[in-house]
Amino acid sequence: MLLVVYPLRSLRKGLCRRETIWQYYISILNWWSVSHSQITRLYSRFTSLDKGENGTLSREDFQRIPELAINPLGDRIINAFFPEGEDQVNFRGFMRTLAHFRPIEDNEKSKDQNGPEPLNSRSNKLHFAFRLYDLDKDDKISRDELLQVLRMMVGVNISDEQLGSIADRTIQEADQDGDSAISFAEFVKVLEKVDVEQKMSIRFLH
Amino acid sequence: MPKTPSANGRQVFSYFQESRALWRLTGIIERIETSMEEEIARLNEVNYEFSDIFYFCRKGFEAIVDDAVTQRFSSEELLSWNLLTRTNVNFRYISLRLTIVWVIGVVVRYCFLLPLRITLAAIGISSMIVGTTLVGQLPNSSVKNYLSELVHLTCSRILVRALSGTIHYHNKENRPKKGGICVANHTSPIDAIILTNDGCYAMVGQVHGGLMGVIQRATVKACPHVWFERSEIKDRHLVTKRLREHVADKSKLPILIFPEGTCINNTSVMMFKKGSFEIGGTIYPVAIKYDPQFGDAFWNSSKYNIVSYLLRIMTSWAIVCNVWYLPPMVREEDEDAVHFANRVRSAIARQGGLTELPWDGGLKRAKVKDTFREEQQKNYSRMLVRNGSIGSLSAGTESD
C-alpha cells in the first residue's frame, strides 16, 4: 500500500465538508481508474498552475499557458472546466473534465455494464464536444452558435457572407428533422464514421 | 527560412512545429506528431465538419496537462533524489535509513558548510569593493588595467569557492576577445560570476540600490562596465548607442550580455532578443549547463527573492557546471538580426544539450501576443477555403 502525503493545506480547501481525504482520492480513482502515479503527476501539474496557492484554479491560471492562449478555441476549452456560474475549479473538477480525454481501453469495454457510463465513453466524448458548440444549453446547435465557433476558428480571414454560407451548408448536410438546428442525435449521426476515440484522447506515458 | 522581420509570427510557428520532437521525449503524455492538415482530413466534400474542433480541443487539453513553456519557469525535476528537501516534489517516505542519511546531510550542510561559505563570500565581496576602489584611484594606464584584471579575477575566484563551485571550461581557445560581445544562456545571477572566473568582461546592467549598488559603483571606477539608470533602459536607441561605442573601442573588454532577458531553468534556451545582435561586432557564444544533481542553480524570481535564493545556493551540495566557449560568429551580409539571433541560439542549445524553444522568456510575466493565435486561424482558414470550394457553394450539393 503506497503511503502518499499530499500537501494537506491546499487539498483540504478542495474538499466538501462531508468527505475525508480518502474518499476524495477514491472518487478521483473512479473516474480515472488507472495508475496512482498519473494522479500524482496531474496533482503536481495542478499545483504548479495554481499561482494563488489556494487549491483552486481560475481562468487566469489557464490563460497563463501560452499554448492554450494561442489556441483559437482556448476560451471555450477553459470554460468547459468551470461549472455554471463559478469562477474557481478545484482538483476534483479539474480531473473530472480531464477524464473525458482518457483513452478507451479495450479491457474496459466489457466491464460493468450496470454501472454509470464512464466519462470517457464515445458518447460522453461526443457530448463534451456538443457542449462546446451549444452555449445556451438548449440541446441544439443553432446557426448562430455554429457561426460563433466558426468565427473563433477562422479569425478575420473569411468574410461574413462566406462564413454564413459555410454554416448553412453544414447545417443542411446534418439536419434531418428540418428545424435548421442540430440536435445531439443528429450530431452523433454526422460523426458516426469519425474515430472519436483516437481524436479525443490523451495517452499517458506511464 | 523567411528573412523579413515581419514574418516573425510564421517563423515562430514553424519553429514551434519543428522543435516539438525534442522535448516531447520527456513529457508525461504521448504527443501525436500530426499537422493540422493531416488531422482535419476531409471525409467528404463538405467544407466544414463538426469534427474539426477535435484537433483544437485535443491540442488545448494536451497543453493544459503538459506544456513546453511554463515548465521552464520552475526548477527541473530530478530523476533520482539528491537528498535535498527542496527537490523532493512528491514527498514519499521511503525508509528509516534514508531519513537518517538525510538528517546527517542537513546537519553537514547547515552547520558546517553554510558558515564557511558565508565567511568566504563576505571576504570575497569586501575585497572586491576595497580592491576596485583602490585600483580606481590610479590614472588610466596599462598598469591600472592589469591590476584591475587581477583584482576582478581573484575576487571572482573567492566568490566561486564560496559557492563550492566546480566549473569545467571547454574550448578555451575560443574565449571572448576584446571588442567583442559575449552571449550566454541565463539561469541565475551566478552566471556572471562563473564567467568572470575565467576572464574579464564588461558587465551590462541596471543600476541597483543597496549592496549591489555599492559593488557596481566601486567596480565601474576600475573597469569600464556599462551600468544604465532605470530610465535609460527604456530608451532602446540610447542603450544600443552606448553599447556600440563600447564595442567600437577595441581596447575595451568584451561585453557580457544575456539575450534571453530572464532566468530560465537550464533545460532549454528561449528566444533571444534581437537588440544585442544589432550592435555589430563579433559575437562569442557561450553555453552554460549546470549539473542539477548537486544543487539547483535556477532563480525562480517570482517565488524567491535574492537573499533566500543565495541561502538556498549556499546550502546545496555544490554548484557543478560546464562552460563551453563556442567559435565566434558574425552577422552575414543579408541576414537580419532575428535570424542571426536564432542561429546563435541553435549553436548554444546544441552544444549545451538544451532544447530550443521559440517562445519568449518574457512569457514568465507577460501574456502571449495575439499574432500567434492569428497565425493558427489563418492556417485553418486556408484549409477551409482550399480547392476553391467556396466558389461552388452556390452550385448546390451535387457531391452527395
pLDDT tens digits along B367-383: 888 888 888 888 888 87
The Cα–Cα gap between B23 and B268 comes to: 9
Chain B contact set for A71 (CB, 8 A) = 56, 59-60, 63, 373, 376
- Compute chain B's Rg from CA coordinates: 25
User: What ipTM was predicted for this assembly?
Assistant: 0.82
Say how many domains are in chain B: 1
Interface test with B, best of A65, A131, A142, A203 (most B CBs within 10 A): A65
A112 or A38: which leads in pLDDT: A38
Count of CB pairs separated by less than 8 Å, A with B = 176
pLDDT beneath 50: ranges in chain B? 1-7, 18-26, 44-45, 387-400
Cβ(A134)–Cβ(A140) under 8 Å?
yes
The Cα–Cα gap between B117 and A156 comes to: 60
Say if B54 falls within a structural domain: no
Check if A73 contacts B (Cβ < 8 Å): yes
Strand partners, B329: B283
Q: How close B362 gets to chain A, by Cα (Å)?
A: 11
- A194 with B61: Cβ contact below 8 A: no
Q: Where are the alpha helices (DSSP H) in chain B?
A: 8-18, 20-24, 36-39, 52-65, 96-107, 114-136, 142-162, 190-196, 210-222, 230-234, 236-248, 306-314, 337-352, 370-384
Q: How close A70 gets to chain B, by Cα (Å)?
A: 4
- A199 with B394: Cβ contact below 8 A: no
Say if B134 falls within a structural domain: yes
pLDDT given for residue B87 in this prediction: 66
Interface test with A, best of B8, B38, B42, B57 (most A CBs within 10 A): B57
- Compute chain A's Rg from CA coordinates: 19
B47 or A69: which leads in pLDDT: A69
* Mean pLDDT of the residues in chain A: 78
Report, as an integer, the average pLDDT of A128-143. Answer: 87
Chain B contact set for A41 (CB, 8 A) = 28
User: Per mean pLDDT, which range of A26-30, A124-128, A200-204, B280-284 is the poorest?
Assistant: A26-30
Q: Using 50, 70 and 90 to split pLDDT, how confident is the model at A27?
A: low
- A3 with B374: Cβ contact below 8 A: no
pLDDT given for residue B327 in this prediction: 93
Nearest CA in chain A to B49: A170
Asked if pLDDT for residue A174 goes beyond 70, the answer is yes
The amino acid occupying position B66 is D
Asked if pLDDT for residue A18 goes beyond 50, the answer is no
Domain that holds residue B315: 96-363
The Cα–Cα gap between A172 and A193 comes to: 18
pLDDT given for residue B345 in this prediction: 92
Cβ(A92)–Cβ(A16) under 8 Å?
no
pLDDT given for residue A86 in this prediction: 86
- A155 with B390: Cβ contact below 8 A: no
- B30 with A205: Cβ contact below 8 A: yes
- B29 with A205: Cβ contact below 8 A: yes
pLDDT given for residue B398 in this prediction: 37
- List domains and CATH numbers for chain A: 30-100 (1.10.238.10), 119-205 (1.10.238.10)
Say if B21 falls within a structural domain: no
Interface test with B, best of A37, A41, A51, A71 (most B CBs within 10 A): A71
The B residues from 111 to 130 touching A (CB cutoff 8 Å) are none
Chain A contact set for B394 (CB, 8 A) = 165
H helix or E strand, kind and range, residue A128 = helix A122-133
- B380 with A45: Cβ contact below 8 A: no
Chain B contact set for A67 (CB, 8 A) = 59, 63, 67-69
The Cα–Cα gap between B333 and A50 comes to: 47
Which of A3, A74, A166 is opposite residue B60, by nearest beta carbon? A74
pLDDT exceeding 90 applies to what percent of chain A? 0
Q: Using 50, 70 and 90 to split pLDDT, how confident is the model at A9?
A: very low
Say if B35 falls within a structural domain: no
pLDDT given for residue B153 in this prediction: 92
pLDDT given for residue A194 in this prediction: 84
